[in-house]
Amino acid sequence: MTIITRRAAIAAAGASLAMPYVTGAQAQSALTVQIGASHPIQNFWVANMKEVFQPEVDKHLRDNGNSHKINWREAYGGTLFKFQDTMEAVRDNLVDVGFVGTLWEGSTMPLQNLTYFTPFSGGDHGLVANAFDKLNASVPALKESWNKLNMAPLSSLITDSYHLWTNFPIKSLDDLKNRKINAPGTSANWLTGTGATPVDGALTTYYTDIQTGVSEGAISFYVGILPTRVYEVAKYVTEVDLGAMYVGGIAANLDRFNKFPKPVQDAMVAAGKAATAAHVRDVANRIEKSKQEMIAKGAIVTKLADADRERWIKGLPNIAKTWADSSGPAARDMLKTYFDTLRGSGFNPPRAWDKEV
């Protein structure tokens, strides 16, 4: 079945056939909502959709009049679309609600990729998640970006802070010279000035890349890399705190969202906020567990010396300006607002990217 035919079939089957039915004395309107993701529910971003967002929508409806009920039609695990198509799947209503990975949409959604161009701007994943919840709701250009793509953002999803996994020990920044390190996409810029050569790849390729000599390590984050078992072939973990990154979030197709009854809209907005908060707590819990599991299985964890980290930070080119110059007239205001939000929460970024553009 072609994607067009499949999309048409799913859209027809998943249309919001609101049908009244009775449970006890309470009449309700039943609404079918298609929800999906490119990854399985074992993925911590997708688990948040299934285990937090959906139940929170249901709970909010029960607690606020009980006049509507959602019949969820789930399409997790890439059954309808792969990671390259998360934005299109929601935009084109292949699903009504889905995980949109903005990190894979650098050219289409440049404003949402700000964190990948401002490394070393904070490893507090909760601060990053909460900042983007605020930005998505308050920055006109960011809201317009979502809306032009026919999407309404509901929650913010993030990574924990990035570090180095290598098959050689790192005692100083100089140990990265002439080394090949997996650093896909924008993260390749983070190695500029270190002497290391970035190698493209993904979480799914790191193990084989390192095992076969294509690379000698990878830039990644505890929660994401644990299931890949990369620590088996790259047992040296060097904590450098490159920063937590915003990767996207749960979003609804805007046309469909606008047709939902107001109580359902309110329930989804409230559930999105609850999902962000739960995601922050979940990641915090997973970081230490992931770290300890790796150590128990032979990983050697050290921390890059402060002086070397400072040298790395200062040696980076002005990639924030490169991003701002190519991301539209609102980019500089977006950058300023983001850094004002970070500082307003009491964090002082070690490199003031917003003052360099």
Is the same domain home to 176 and 107? no
Q: Are residues 58 and 118 in the same domain?
A: yes
When divided into structural domains, the chain yields a total of: 2
Angle of the 125-138 helix axis to the 331-344 helix axis, nearest 10:
130
Residues 256, 235 share a domain: no
pLDDT in tens, 210-269: 999 999 999 999 999 999 999 999 999 999 999 999 999 999 999 999 999 999 999 999
Give pLDDT, residue 83: 87
95 and 182: one domain?
A: no
Cβ(218)–Cβ(234) below 8 Å: yes
Contact residues for 100 (Cβ-Cβ < 8 A; gap 6+): 86, 87, 90, 151, 153, 248, 249, 250, 251
The domain boundary, picked from 260, 287, 314, lies at: 287
206-214: long-range contacts (C-beta < 8 A, 24 or more apart)? 206/165, 206/182, 206/230, 206/234, 207/232, 207/233, 209/182, 210/167, 210/182, 210/234, 214/180
- In terms of Cα–Cα distance, which of 306, 325, 347 is closest to 125? 347
Pairing label, strands 246-253, 151-153: antiparallel
Q: Which residue has the higher pLDDT, 113 or 12?
A: 113
Residues 259 and 219 both lie in one domain: no
Closest CA to 276 of 126, 107, 73: 126
Task: Report the CATH number at residue 195.
Answer: 3.40.190.170
Structure tokens at 20: 């009244």
Please compute the mean of the pLDDT values over residues 169-198 and round it to a whole number: 95
Same domain, 220 and 311: yes
Shared domain check, 201 and 113 = no
**Do 113 and 210 belong together in one domain?**
no
Do both 269 and 329 map to the same domain? no
Q: How many CB atoms lie within 10 A of CB 314?
A: 11
Of 228, 258, 287, which closes a domain?
287
Beta bridge partners of 320: none
Quick: pLDDT tens for 116-174. 999 999 889 999 999 999 999 999 999 999 999 999 999 999 999 999 999 999 999 99
Give me the domain span that covers residue 22. 3-159+246-287
Q: Is 142 in the same domain as 256?
A: yes
**Looking at the structure, do residues 260 and 312 belong to the same domain, yes or no?**
no
Q: Which residue has the tokens 């793509």?
A: 149
203 shares a domain with 108:
no
Cα–Cα distance for residue pair 199/184, rounded to 1 Å: 7
